[in-house]
Amino acid sequence: MIVLGIESTAHTASVGIVEESSTILGLASDMYRPPSGGIHPREAANHHVDVLPRLVEEALREASLTASDLGAVSFAQGPGLGPCLRAGATVARMLALTWDRPLVPVNHCVAHVEIARVLSHLDDPMLLYASGGNTQVVAHFSGRYRVLGETLDIGIGNFLDKLWIALGGTFPGGPALEAAALRGSELLALPYTVHGMDVAFSGLLTAALAMAARGADRDDLAYSVETTAYAMLTEITERALAHRKMKDVVLGGGVACNERLRGMVRAMAEARGGTSFAPPKRLCVDNGAMIAWTGLLGLQSGGSVPVERTQVEPRQRTDLVTVPWR
């Protein structure tokens, strides 16, 4: 069985092709970069409509396959930006109808867990999902992926992007902030906002902007923001591990590309006798391969649906979807 998956929940349009052994046969991605400021959903959706046909061709070419080799088409049903989700879902429906293949909707957050799980060979890890719009600690129990902790306001990546753009940089801010943080050395005191299993970033953003306005060194500020925000994420992940009596962690989401975050989570997991795993960067960020792989798992447990039942669900929660393959 070979499945083609389409990702379009936010700024990245991506098409992945995966086979049953989990080998990624093809992956083509194209990220919408706004000329200034943050993402405008409608403009990102227009971008996805423009690039998706080419990405389908590129992924098929890389895989040396044609449509007749594919067993199904899957797509990210939610959560995400409505216009962006609809762009991907429309292309997926069109391909499934044209090629006469089953259509499998996939939850985007579950797809981050499943790609990390299969690549790590860890059977039952905790997921720290740190992306632009989402920040969640997720574990599987009682038949579903459950959110144990999450951001109470904005996603960690949106926080980093907003801060970097306010400091005069461009989107995406995370990688540039990481480079600046490597040059910083002084740890400035910033709000550390952990509420039980949850975190919040708006106080940290306000305080960092106020410090910047008072002339704080940008590199020190980047270093301090990373230290504070990633310590918050590491703390709630550790608390979730302790509660669930689990040891291992996988990372997902664009912010999981960050070496500092990877290192802090690894140190925490190893201190508890466990291990941590972060997928290669192109599979940490939003990508079609994770949608294809999770679509394949869904299909194998009877998860294809008729076109009439493929509406997108911008607010679809991780713990609302069933995972019959576990």
Question: How far is residue 180's CA from residue 163's CA, in Å, rounded to a whole number?
Answer: 13
Pair type for strands 126-130 and 249-252: parallel
With respect to Mg ion, which residue has the nearer C-beta, 276 or 287?
A: 287
Question: How far is residue 113's CA from residue 107's CA, in Å, rounded to a whole number?
Answer: 10
No. of helices (H) and no. of strands (E), the chain: 10, 12
> Which residue of the chain is nearest Mg ion when measured via CB?
131
Q: Which two tokens stand for residue 68?
A: 């007749």
Is there binding between residue 295 and ligand AMP (CB under 6 A)?
A: no
Q: From the list 2, 3, 4, 10, which residue makes contact with ligand AMP (rule: CB under 6 A)? A: 10
Say which residues have a Cβ less than 8 Å from residue 309's Cβ, sequence separation at least 6. Answer: none
Binding partner of 5, given Mg ion, ligand AMP, none, CB within 5-8 angstroms per partner class:
none
Is there binding between residue 107 and ligand AMP (CB under 6 A)?
A: no
Q: Cα dihedral angle (174, 175, 176, 182), rounded to 10 degrees?
A: 100
In the shown chain, the binding pattern of residues 120 to 149 toward ligand AMP, with x for contact by CB under 6 A and - for none, equals: -----------xx-----------------
Question: How far is residue 290's CA from residue 292's CA, in Å, rounded to a whole number?
Answer: 5
Q: From the list 286, 291, 303, 313, which residue makes contact with ligand AMP (rule: CB under 6 A)? A: 286
**Which residues, 240 to 279, sit near ligand AMP by CB under 6 A?**
253-255, 257-258
Q: From the list 19, 161, 286, 313, which residue makes contact with Mg ion (rule: CB under 5 A)? A: 286
Binding partner of 257, given ligand AMP, Mg ion, none, CB within 5-8 angstroms per partner class:
ligand AMP
Binding partner of 173, given Mg ion, ligand AMP, none, CB within 5-8 angstroms per partner class:
ligand AMP
Is there binding between residue 7 and ligand AMP (CB under 6 A)?
A: no
Strand partners, 73: 4, 103
Question: How far is residue 326's CA from residue 313's CA, in Å, rounded to a whole number?
Answer: 23
- H/E run at residue 5: strand 2-7
Q: Which two tokens stand for residue 207?
A: 């305080």
With respect to ligand AMP, which residue has the nearer C-beta, 102 or 155?
A: 155
Q: Using CB under 6 A as the criterion, which residues of the chain lie in contact with ligand AMP when the complex forms?
A: 10, 12, 131-132, 157, 160-161, 172-175, 178, 253-255, 257-258, 285-286
